[in-house]
Amino acid sequence: MITTKTTLGIDIYKQKFDVALLIGNKLKHKKFFNNTKGYQTLLAWLSKHDAQELHACMEATGVYGEALAEYLYDNEINISIVNPARVKGFAQSEQLRTKTDKVDASLIARFCLALEPSLWQPLPVEIRQCRDLVRRLEALGNMHRQESNRLEGASDLIAEQLHHHLAYLDKEIKKVKKMIKQHIDDHPDMKKRKVLLESIPGIGEATINVILSEFGNITQFKNAKALAAFIGVAPKTRESGTSLRSRARMSKMGRSNLRKAFFMPALVALKHNPLIIELKLRLTKAGKSKMAIVGAAMRKLVHIIYGVLKSGMPFDKNFA
């Protein structure tokens, strides 16, 4: 059967991206640079092929695809961003063995045609701006740690340069922290959510900034489990009959940067959050390992965050 639907599979990486345009049963391939000029060239190429009512699709690969997705959305092109595990499962259903950028783009186009994934929408502008500031702060922090590590064993000449650079980074970190605080204060909805998050024991300023910048708009998740899956802290159980019964583990299928942001807060919450302390006692009595308890604390913390933001009420240990 010949179909008239048009889908665009996008296989994106840091500097370039491959696309596969599926019109009917015909595939057309092209490679573009992952920058604004490349996005403009892509639109011209799509126009040349008269790709109307287009549904584009890409895998969720962190920061590399965000700018392109926002560009396509702003130019009124339907775009879906899907979990790579879904595309991998689709490839297995096709018994696909070859893996190249061109093949992957074609696979995503066929996946989009067959499964019609839900459409993606960008976060509001104020949240995206906050996200950019928070990620800049994280980058500066990483540079500061790297330069601090280089001080050990450095010669006097190099140490002097490192101290100058560290002083500059300290200044920039303070500047960006101030910009983040001011940005949140300038947007009443974000400021309100910040106050709610501050009521949760174990959640500090750095974690609050990540939450507000990455998923402050909690309405995009239908429940706390969906948010936990987005972050990648939902449990993964493997059981089949009597032969396969493995210990439940964290799925790690979500955003790795967000999981990292919740690790230390979970450790703090295990000592100071009454609900998570109670969880720790129960799991310890059940013989769970330390890391299993930390993982459970991360999930519990996510559920608490969702509940507080969804209800608009501060944390209350007695609230059921």
| Mean pLDDT score, 228-241 | 64
Q: Return the pLDDT at 246.
A: 47
pLDDT at 226 over 90: no
| Mean pLDDT score, 286-292 | 91
What distance in Å separates the CA atoms of residue 177 and residue 203, rounded to the nearest whole number?
17
Report the candidate in 83, 304, 88 with the shortest Cα–Cα distance to residue 201. 304
* Predicted confidence (pLDDT) per residue in 179-197, tens digit: 999 999 999 999 999 999 9
Assess contact for 117 and 82: CB atoms under 8 A. yes
H or E element at residue 6:
strand 6-12
What DSSP character marks residue 200?
S
- Predicted TM-score (pTM) of the model is 0.75
pLDDT at 254 over 70: no
* Predicted confidence (pLDDT) per residue in 42-76, tens digit: 999 998 888 778 999 999 876 788 889 999 999 99
pLDDT at 214 over 80: yes
* Predicted confidence (pLDDT) per residue in 123-140, tens digit: 888 998 999 999 999 999
- Which has the minimum average pLDDT: 172-181, 206-215, 238-247, 295-304? 238-247
Mean pLDDT of the chain: 86
Report the candidate in 137, 140, 131 with the shortest Cα–Cα distance to residue 67. 131
| Mean pLDDT score, 223-227 | 87
* Predicted confidence (pLDDT) per residue in 10-29, tens digit: 998 888 999 999 988 888 99
Give just the sign of the alpha carbon dihedral 282, 287, 293, 296. Answer: negative
Q: pLDDT class for 102, splitting at 50, 70, 90?
A: confident
Q: Return the pLDDT at 201.
A: 93
What tokens does 159 get? Answer: 């140490």
Q: Return the pLDDT at 55.
A: 95
